Amino acid sequence: MSNACHNASADAFDAAGYAEPRAEAEGNTRAGHVDSDAVPGRASSTAEPALCPSGVSDQRAELYGEIAEHFGTLRSALQRWHEAFRRVHGGPASDPSRGQGRALALLNIQGEMRQRDMGFILNIRPQSLGEVLAKLERAGLITRRTSEKDRRVLLVSITDKGRDCVRCIRPPFPEVDLTDDELEQFSHALSQFINAFERDAQRLNRVDQQ
């Protein structure tokens, strides 16, 4: 990895909100810390991740660093935007990034699905998910029924009232000075980044399991 890539990656890693774990890892390395669970022949878990592909030019490495920094800034801006919207419009289902709003947003996309699958996708414990769905059900935003094929399976569906709620909690996107073609290109570029991150996450998971 080039020095520019290393520096840009480190700075972007901090900007994206991961400064503390990286600093801790560096501290362990400086102190000569060795993970007691380390496996011979396997890279230490405290090693700084390679955020740029090997062999990239310095200019491209700098661009990757700038983009990663923008992602971190965008994440913070979106959080502030959602919080401000939730304060204005209120309601526990008004934030599609957490709790009831997150469950409702998933059902609006997926349609009817098994409650167990919802817990897996949302990474919520069964008991916590049950409490969230019970509140949504009492509000008339979802319905739950037992599957006719398997009485052990609980199916969850969003109601018309729930869909109306999702439409209401989706605030108008702030206007930006881009043409429709530029927005389409930006959306396509974001999709490519998402796919690249997903592919690399799968690769890293395979390495971690070796």
Which pLDDT tens digit goes with each residue over 49-101?
455 556 778 888 899 889 999 999 998 998 888 778 777 765 656 666 677 88
State how far the Cα of 112 lies from the Cα of 144, in Å rounded to an integer.
9
Whether 156 and 107 have beta carbons less than 8 Å apart is answered as yes
Cβ density class 25-41: b for 16+ within 10 Å, e for less: beeeeeeeeeeeeeeee
Q: Which one has a higher pLDDT value, 206 or 14? A: 206
Helix runs in the chain, H state only = 3-13, 19-30, 58-89, 99-110, 115-122, 126-138, 160-169, 180-209
Encoded tokens for 81 = 């935007």
Whether the model clears a pTM of 0.75, i.e. scores above it, the answer is no
At the top level of CATH, which class does the domain 99-169 belong to?
A: mainly alpha
3-class DSSP state for residue 97? Answer: coil
Please determine, for residue 23, whether its predicted confidence score (pLDDT) is greater than 50. no
Q: Tell me what percent of the residues of the chain surpass a pLDDT of 70.
A: 67
Domain ranges for the chain: 1-28+49-89, 99-169
State how far the Cα of 175 lies from the Cα of 179, in Å rounded to an integer.
11
123-149 pLDDT, tens digit each: 889 999 999 999 999 989 999 999 888
26-51 pLDDT, tens digit each: 444 444 444 444 444 444 444 444 55
Residue showing tokens 């520019």: 4
Residue showing tokens 């059900």: 137
